[in-house]
Structure 1
Amino acid sequence: MPEKESAAQKALGELAPKMVSLTDDVLFGDVWERPGLSPRDRSLITVTTLAALYRTDQLGFHLRLAVKNGLSREELVEALTHLAFYAGWPNAMSALGRLKDIVGSTDSPEN
């Protein structure tokens, strides 16, 4: 049975197979698996970095992964609110908008 396609394979597999291989094998296969930080901590660092640098194209994927890795909606809101004072209000507001699209408002259950 063939291995499930990664997000990178689905998005860019035909166009940039080497980039996909590096993403899957090095970034997610090695860096994300290192024992020094938990996946939860890596997600928090990645989400806040992407938000701070206004890298919105990949933010949605990493917000979903952050929730999957154990970060709550409330923790992500708090991190992004804190980030607003250091990385800029527009960056934080955009990231919070993406988070709302993914996990909804306080009236809806987390995904």
Structure 2
Amino acid sequence: MTERKTPSAAAKSVGDIAPKLVQLTDDVLFGDIWERPGLSKRDRSMITVATLVSLYRSNELPFHLNRALDNGVTEQELIEMMTHLAFYAGWPCGMTAITTARDVFQSRRE
């Protein structure tokens, strides 16, 4: 397991009960998959957000919206993506994602 100075989001969330899941999240998902050279982090963020919106995974969405913004995806691009997905993934998915995005955008401005 990679040594970190500060606990990862996964470690903070479930590290007390699922250390192996934290290790896999940190080392494989974010340490390997997200670091592969085939796609930029920006592209990976857009794919991840689109998938989370489409699958109605609202618990993970705020983390990945913040990550997408950090990786260069703009607020306007995220809004446009969610508007588009409302027609393909379903209206509730799009509306929930938009309200979540509004909260994330607002919290980043505070």
**TM-score if structure 1 supplies the norm length?**
0.91
Provide runs of 4+ in structure 1 moved above 2 Å: none
Of 48, 51, 71 in structure 1, the residue corresponding to residue 50 of structure 2 is 48
In 2, the alpha carbon distance for the partners of 1:47 and 1:14 equals: 27
> Per-residue deviation at 1:110?
5.5
> Per-residue deviation at 1:3?
1.6
In 2, the alpha carbon distance for the partners of 1:18 and 1:77 equals: 35
- Which residue is equivalent to 2:24? 22
> Per-residue deviation at 1:4?
1.4
In 2, the alpha carbon distance for the partners of 1:79 and 1:36 equals: 22
**Structure 2: which amino acid aligns with 1:82?**
H
In 1, the alpha carbon distance for the partners of 2:82 and 2:94 equals: 5
Of 80, 83, 87 in structure 2, the residue corresponding to residue 81 of structure 1 is 83
> Per-residue deviation at 1:97?
0.4
**Structure 1: stretches of 5+ with no match in the other structure:** none
- Which residue is equivalent to 1:101? 103
Residue 70 of structure 1 aligns to a residue whose secondary structure is coil
- Which residue is equivalent to 2:40? 38
**Structure 2: stretches of 5+ with no match in the other structure:** none
**TM-score if structure 2 supplies the norm length?**
0.92
Cα RMSD after superposing both structures: 1.4
Q: How many residues align?
A: 106
Residue 78 of structure 1 aligns to a residue whose secondary structure is helix
